[in-house]
Amino acid sequence: MQELSLRQRITVLAAAFLGWMFGGLQIALFVLIHRPAMLSLLGVSPATMTPEAAALNEQTITHWFAWYQAAFLLGAASGGWIFGMLGDRFGRTKSLAASILCYSVLTGACYFARSPWELLVLRFLACHGIGGAWPNTVALVAEAWPAASRPLLAGVLGTAANVGQVAMGLLGLGFDVTVDSWRWTFLAGAAPAAIGVWCLVCVPESVRWQLSRLQQAASWQGPIRELFRPPLRSRTIMGILLGTIPVIGTAANAQWIVPWSDQVQTQQLKVSAEDKSDPTAAAARPKPDPKSKARTMVSRSGGAVIGSLLGGILASFLGRRTTYFFISLLALGASTWIFGWLTPLHPWFLWASFGFGLIGVIYFGWLPLYLPELFPTAVRASGTGISFNSGRVLAAGVVLGTGVLVKLFGGDYARIGLWTGMIYGAGMLLILFAPRTDAGSLQD
């Protein structure tokens, strides 16, 4: 069986990058539209609300944000397991194509949702495709390219989702995302279906997977059984724990920056309306920015593009474990600074969002390098998928638990972010017990 040509490898990389890039766009989509979508579906008019009603609706919107985050996390976790096993059983490219079609078609169906619950169910189902794309892109690229290229390509794959998030933010800057205009975003989310069809028809399969499948066809017992018994059990558990830290950090901490910015700017618009009778007070206050949430998303995601590109490169120079430790340390410091000392009205806020995005997403350039090194070819897609996506189940519990913090802190996103950022400290301890894989070779 012939190795892939350079052209075929580039095709594989392009398919993997596009599949995960549009997965990132899907992730960012709901963060961007959440507040206007909820106000629209709940039939709430911000202009006519009393202060008491506004406070009550703020808590309702925040609760729905937590539920949508949980739907994403649980759907992606389930999809990572399902499509990861399909990738080991039927091939990386077929499973990648199916996952892209899953998140594209079901996101397009969200256009027709008429209630928060309908949107929640469709979001949950669509996120199976998002979770399923990751293990197959990582396994496909890791097996198609030589070991010397893997640190850089791990970073390139890590940037893909963040490029998609930047693209969604730029769409939000170019087109209004308001209570009256938010459904159009689902049409943008449906567009990658064409990529799924192209992947199914034109992208070559992993030669390494084909050889492994032929060799183990007679004795293949299923990836779950292999992963959760010696000698792979301890590696699987450690992979799950290492994948959990950045997933919780993103979903329960960093993702609050955009709705926090939207919340503060909405409050500022109300204050500006009240200040019309007092020009002196109006001049002294920061001017509200209706595009603030989109600018915040672009800023954070722009930093994340750079950070995720650095993950694999830093790991190859500093070592896998050392890199993870310092990512966790810096992310803890950045989260504490942005939520503890700044506000979205501060002139440094966008720069701080950029820095937090850069630091906190280095993890996602590190994981595509490290996780495939933990597992042999026969269970690599399942192992990486379970490791990365199982953390989403735990993260969903944490996100839903923030509902308690919402009530405790009266809907104060800054205090929620300050407390949930402590998860990065756990990463500093956890990595001390992880297996060393600095040789950089994949197991057959």
Q: 443 in a domain, yes or no?
A: no
Q: 330 in a domain, yes or no?
A: yes
- When pLDDT is averaged across residues 271-289 and rounded to a whole number, the result is 51
pLDDT value for 212? 79
Where does the pLDDT of residue 382 fall: very low under 50, low under 70, confident under 90, or very high at 90 and above?
A: confident
> Which range has highest mean pLDDT (37-41, 132-136, 299-303)?
132-136
pLDDT value for 140? 92
Where does the pLDDT of residue 441 fall: very low under 50, low under 70, confident under 90, or very high at 90 and above?
A: low
Q: 441 in a domain, yes or no?
A: no
Q: 83 in a domain, yes or no?
A: yes
3-state SS, the chain, equals CCCCCHHHHHHHHHHHHHHHHHHHHHHHHHHHHHHHHHHHHCCCCHHHCCHHHHHHHHHHHHHHHHHHHHHHHHHHHHHHHHHHHHHHHHCHHHHHHHHHHHHHHHHHHHHHCCCHHHHHHHHHHHHHHHHHHHHHHHHHHHHHCCHHHHHHHHHHHHHHHHHHHHHHHHHHHHCCCECCECCHHHHHHHCCHHHHHHHHHHCCCCHHHHHHHHHHCCCCCCHHHHHCCCCCHHHHHHHHHHHHHHHHHHHHCHHHHHHHHHHHHHHHHHHHHHHHHCHHHHHHCCCCCCCHHHHHHHHHHHHHHHHHHHHHHHHHHHCHHHHHHHHHHHHHHHHHHHHHHCCCCCCCHHHHHHHHHHHHCCHHHHHHHHHHHCCEHHHHHHHHHHHHHHHHHHHHHHHHHHHHHHHHCCCCHHHHHHHHCCHHHHHHHHHHHCCCCCCCCCEC
pLDDT in tens, 173-229: 888 888 888 999 999 999 999 999 999 999 999 888 888 777 765 455 567 788 888
pLDDT value for 152? 87
Q: 336 in a domain, yes or no?
A: yes
Q: 1 in a domain, yes or no?
A: no
Q: 386 in a domain, yes or no?
A: yes
Q: 145 in a domain, yes or no?
A: yes
Structural domain count of the chain: 1
pLDDT value for 284? 45
Where does the pLDDT of residue 281 fall: very low under 50, low under 70, confident under 90, or very high at 90 and above?
A: very low
Q: Supply the CATH number for residue 46's domain.
A: 1.20.1250.20
Residue 97, domain extent: 6-214+221-433
- When pLDDT is averaged across residues 309-337 and rounded to a whole number, the result is 93
Residue scoring higher pLDDT (124 or 142): 124
